[in-house]
């Protein structure tokens, strides 16, 4: 059995066939899906889906692309959503210095404020980190080591960065990019990271694995990613599935 630790089931790409998508995932032995918010509206939608669909859980937070909209009121609104019993994490939050949809200082403020809030509430965090590795780890170091700090989703760093994150209490989550020809760093981490520190994800509807690359991604495809990583690690697929599922259950308390 698999767990898709990061998807966006609220997005319009799933509007017409969401129930079919979830059923297809179940047929591929995906027992749980964490659907992740990126702002107040999508976080609210994620909670609603989690309360409606068995096996679906929610994460709530504000994505760095939306950091210009971040405010005290936003923080309070998301904190209120986090009280729902199906909310298992605060995210996705973090830094994205690839396209700068929001200024760097606004992203840092939103990131740090949400980290404080999540830790105060005892929730693990789901971190978005794109072209911001050193700034991210510098901020996280300020908070010190935690038992279940969170996960860096769609991990794109090297083993040195992964090791720093592990020391702080983080997991890394490997997406379908591990199947891409040029993703050598991702494959290295997927093959060398301690088994007890790995989650897997789709980031659906984005980043579909080969042979579905370029198409809409969906939670059923997490099995494709998991199968590829099991091969890289030269271990039985069922053992890898069991380990990553247990890791996700531990982190998210599900």
pLDDT in tens, 180-203: 999 999 999 999 999 999 999 999
State the pLDDT at residue 99.
84
Q: 104-121 and 133-141 helices cross at what angle (nearest 10)?
A: 40
pLDDT in tens, 15-71: 999 999 999 999 999 999 999 999 999 999 999 999 999 999 999 999 999 999 999
State percent of the chain over pLDDT 70.
100
Quote the CA–CA distance of 43 and 76 in Å, as a whole number: 13
Please name the residue that has the structure tokens 């301690």: 194
Is pLDDT above 90 for 107?
A: yes
Quote the distance between the C-alpha of residue 62 and its chain's center.
13
DSSP line for the chain:
-EEEEEE-TTSGGGTTTHHHHHHHHHHTTEEEEEEE-SSHHHHHHHHHHHHHSTTEEEEE---GGGGGG--HHHHHHHHHHTTSTTEEEEEEEEEETTT-SS-HHHHHHHHHHHHHHHHHHT--EEEEEES-HHHHHHHHHTT---TT-EEETT--S-HHHHHHHHHHTEEEEE-GGGGSTT-HHHHHHHHHS-GGGEEE---BTS-PPTTSTTSPP-GGGHHHHHHHHHHHTTS-HHHHHHHHHHHHHHHHT-
pLDDT band at 138 (very low <50, low <70, confident <90, very high): very high
| Average pLDDT of the segment spanning 231-250 | 98
pLDDT band at 132 (very low <50, low <70, confident <90, very high): very high
Tokens of 135: 């700034």
pLDDT in tens, 117-128: 999 999 999 999
State the pLDDT at residue 232.
98
Is pLDDT above 90 for 100?
A: no
Count up the domains in the chain and report the number: 1
CATH assignment of the domain containing 150? 3.20.20.140
Print the domain residue range for 118.
2-252
| Average pLDDT of the segment spanning 196-218 | 97
| Average pLDDT of the segment spanning 164-169 | 98
């Amino acid at each position: 059995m698999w767990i898709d630790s990061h998807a966006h089931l609220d997005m319009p790409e799933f509007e017409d066939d969401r129930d079919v998508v979830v059923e297809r995932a179940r047929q591929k032995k995906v027992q749980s899906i964490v659907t992740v918010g990126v702002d107040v509206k999508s976080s609210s939608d994620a909670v609603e889906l989690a309360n409606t669909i068995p096996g679906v859980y929610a994460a709530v937070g504000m994505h760095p692309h939306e950091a210009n909209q971040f405010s005290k009121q936003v923080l309070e609104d998301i904190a209120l959503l986090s009280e729902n019993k199906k909310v298992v994490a605060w995210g996705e939050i973090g830094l994205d210095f690839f396209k700068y949809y929001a200024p760097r200082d606004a992203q840092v403020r939103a990131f740090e404020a949400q980290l404080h809030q999540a830790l105060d509430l005892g929730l693990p965090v789901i971190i978005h980190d794109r072209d911001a590795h050193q700034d991210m780890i510098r901020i996280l170091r300020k908070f010190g080591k935690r038992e279940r700090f969170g996960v860096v989703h769609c991990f794109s760093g090297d083993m040195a960065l992964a090791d720093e994150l592990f020391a702080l209490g983080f997991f890394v989550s490997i997406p379908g990019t591990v199947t891409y020809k040029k993703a050598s760093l991702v494959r290295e981490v997927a093959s060398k990271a301690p088994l007890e520190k790995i989650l897997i994800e789709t980031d659906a509807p984005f980043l579909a694995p080969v042979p579905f690359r370029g198409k809409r991604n969906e939670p059923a495809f997490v099995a494709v990613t998991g199968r590829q990583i099991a091969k890289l690690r030269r271990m039985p697929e069922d053992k890898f599935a069991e380990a990553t599922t247990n890791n996700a259950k531990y982190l998210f308390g599900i």
